[in-house]
């Protein structure tokens, strides 16, 4: 009952402000204010306000919302823990490999990578390439 009275008072005040705005020849603003002022009365007439007040002042509803929040929190926590664990008990066990398989091939290799890799040639001690770059830039 109190909520309906408050909504009616808000609508009446809004319609008064719309009338003053229309008197000042600002008809578009007055039409907008009128539209906003009619919303609370429309909510009261459709029963939305009564339904909302029944939810707000009912402790059973709040306990239900609390249980829904708790359920969501448990689900979110378990998903986060599941994602963080690597090869947890719930997932399939992964086999540890002893070494590279004979079929393993490097991504850009032209032949299979078998055995020990050949060492890369040691860099030359001369700075001919650096000298060429410096000469190119006039230094």
User: Between the CA of residue 121 and those of 3, 39, 46, 79, what are the distances in Å?
Assistant: 86, 82, 85, 50
CB 125 within 8 A of CB 116: no
Write down the pLDDT at residue 58: 86
Mean pLDDT along residues 16-40: 94
Nearest Cα to Cα of residue 4 among 46, 36, 62, 32: 46
Write down the pLDDT at residue 85: 85
In this prediction, residue 11 has a pLDDT band, given cuts at 50, 70 and 90, of very high
CB 5 within 8 A of CB 14: no
* pLDDT tens, position by position, 86-130: 665 555 555 555 555 555 555 665 655 566 666 666 565 678 888
Residue 15 has pLDDT above 90, yes or no: yes
Which residues, at least 6 apart from 107, have a Cβ–Cβ distance to it below 8 Å? none
Look up the pTM and report it: 0.46
């Amino acid at each position: 009952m109190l909520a309906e009275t408050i909504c009616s008072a808000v609508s009446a005040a809004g319609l008064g402000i719309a009338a003053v705005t229309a008197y000042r020849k600002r008809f578009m603003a007055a039409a907008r204010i009128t539209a906003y002022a009619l919303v609370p009365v429309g909510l009261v007439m459709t029963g939305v306000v009564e339904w909302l007040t029944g939810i707000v002042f009912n402790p059973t509803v709040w306990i239900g919302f609390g249980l829904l929040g708790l359920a969501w929190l448990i689900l979110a926590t378990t998903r986060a823990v599941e994602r963080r664990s690597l090869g947890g008990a719930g997932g399939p066990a992964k086999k540890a490999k002893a070494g590279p398989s004979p079929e393993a091939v490097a991504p850009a290799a032209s032949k299979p990578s078998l055995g020990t890799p050949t060492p890369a040639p040691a860099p030359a001690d001369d700075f001919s390439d650096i000298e060429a770059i410096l000469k190119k830039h006039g230094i």
